[in-house]
A = this chain, B = another copy of it.
Amino acid sequence: MTARQSLSTVGLLGGGVIGAGWAARFLLNGINVRIYDVDPQAERKVGEVLALARRAYAKMLLAPLPAAGTLTFVDSPEAAVAGVDFVQESAPERLDLKQQLLAQASRAAAPHVVFGSSTSGLLPTQLQAHMEHPERLVVGHPFNPVYLLPLIEVCGGDRTSAATRERARAVYSAVGMRPLLLRKEIDGFVADRLMEALWREALWLVNDGVATAEEIDDAIRFGAGLRWSFMGTFLVYRIAGGEAGMRHFMAQFGPALKWPWTKLMDVPEITPDLLDRLVAQSDAQAGGKSIRQLEALRDDCLVAVMQGLRQVGFGAGETLAAYERSLFSGATPPPARIDAPIEVQRRHIPADWTDYNGHTNDSRYMQLSSEAMDEFFRSIGFNAGYLASGRSFYTVESHVRYLGESKAGDEIVVTAQVVQLGEKRVHLHSVMARPDGTPVATAEHLYLHVDTALKKSSPLGAELLQALAPIAAAHAKLPRPAGSGRYVGQSVK
């Protein structure tokens, strides 16, 4: 049983920005959520974050997500943890408050249930102090937005058991995250120490009038920040050191550490004047965009960056690819009904498929149809195991008719119809339509079954025919799809 399967319901203590992000990540992974928060606005706020997450996942994932879990708001910590398989605490960063909440909830939860705390810097040894079964508390420190960023720092306290760490690692991995298991319990853990160091220096630069908030941000995002999205500071510097490696780099640049480049002092005092300047600069930088607009922009960028890295198979892209593989490995179920064209896929048009007018680029309909037909083939048993046996399909030719327009975010339903099934070939027709059935484009594809070692055509495997023949027989009774068999330019006056 995978961790996701052994995780049917989680309890969330706290539904602010972080708690809501957790709710979204668990729900979209098919896990039920029970959430407790004292804020009367919590339900609205969680709903808004969930909407952002749905939007981002639709763009990010080709793989089908399981049916979403159900979200239940409860009015006590005890109700939040009743009958759940895992608890995540995301209360405000006050030790006494968190200690009390964890103690109270731990008395109500089943004894085996592991608790993760989202704290940014409080120590797990302190957090677990008053808990029943304190060995089941671990820090699981996520990063905003929790439903997109893969990093989670996992840190145990003095009494945390090895089994607790392992359970937390498995739970977080199952919902697409990248756990970093910390060796030592220290204030701020690892990531926040690095972020704080940079942030403190940034505040000095504003304090001293060297640069504005926007200029400092530009100094990050057009330079080092681009590299940091896939390689940390050590690997970047190794590369800068050239063939001679890290020792050479340290010899060359180590002395610069002693140069007067950084403020080796305490933090700048946040005077009213400095605060006013910070606020004014931040307002100028936001350029009138609301927080929701900024969040959507941030999410679009994160999705684009992670999708780009997925193509390279590195860093967060590797994490995303592994997550998608795990979603796919749920095995595409065979079609439920075969007496009509089969609904293969529902997708939202990604922002990067559209042109300057916001319309989907023509060539993307071919991609949409092609990827949906891949999904159809998976549903009849054409999977990694079949490929590994040295058999595959080559596409011989394709034809697309463009019938309407779509824009980024539009939902498109793709159906597949078997036009002809031969001994060695499959002819499919697809309709790409709006949810109301209005077609936006149609396509047809001819696939040849091949022996990949001999590089020549070969008969379809019996395991595929078993699934495909009944569909072909049923579809043979349907009318031939409109537009099928056309050639380009036919009957255009």
Question: Chain A residues in contact with chain B, CB under 8 A?
Answer: 17, 93, 120-121, 143-144, 149-151, 153, 178, 180, 182-184, 186-188, 190-203, 205, 208-211, 213-240, 242-243, 245-247, 250, 254, 256-262, 264-267, 270, 275, 278-279, 281-283, 285-286, 290-291, 294-295, 297-298, 300-309, 311-312, 314-317, 319, 351-352, 361-364, 366-367, 369-371, 394-402, 419-420, 425, 427, 444-446, 484-490, 492
Contact = CB atoms under 8 A, between A and B. Distances in A.
A491 B315 CA distance: 47
Number of copies: 2
A386 to B, nearest CB: 13
Contacts of A217: 231-235
Given A246-B278, A402-B395, A351 B312 contact: yes
Contact of A351 (B149, B282, B311, B485): B311
Nearest to A148: B226
A200 B262 CA distance: 9
Contact of A187 (B178, B226, B261, B291): B261
- Nearest 8 CB-CB pairings of A with B: A217-B232, A311-B352, A304-B308, A225-B228, A188-B261, A151-B223, A229-B229, A308-B308
A180 B492 contact: no
A70 to B, nearest CB: 26
A312 to B, nearest CB: 5
A309 B316 contact: no
Given A198-B198, A220-B232, A246-B279, A226 B259 contact: no
A281 B234 contact: yes
A249 to B, nearest CB: 8
Nearest to A285: B235
A291 B241 CA distance: 9
A199 B250 CA distance: 12
23 contacts: A121-B259, A151-B223, A180-B215, A184-B208, A190-B215, A193-B262, A194-B216, A196-B257, A197-B201, A220-B233, A221-B230, A239-B291, A245-B279, A264-B266, A311-B351, A362-B395, A362-B398, A364-B367, A394-B402, A396-B401, A396-B492, A445-B488, A446-B488
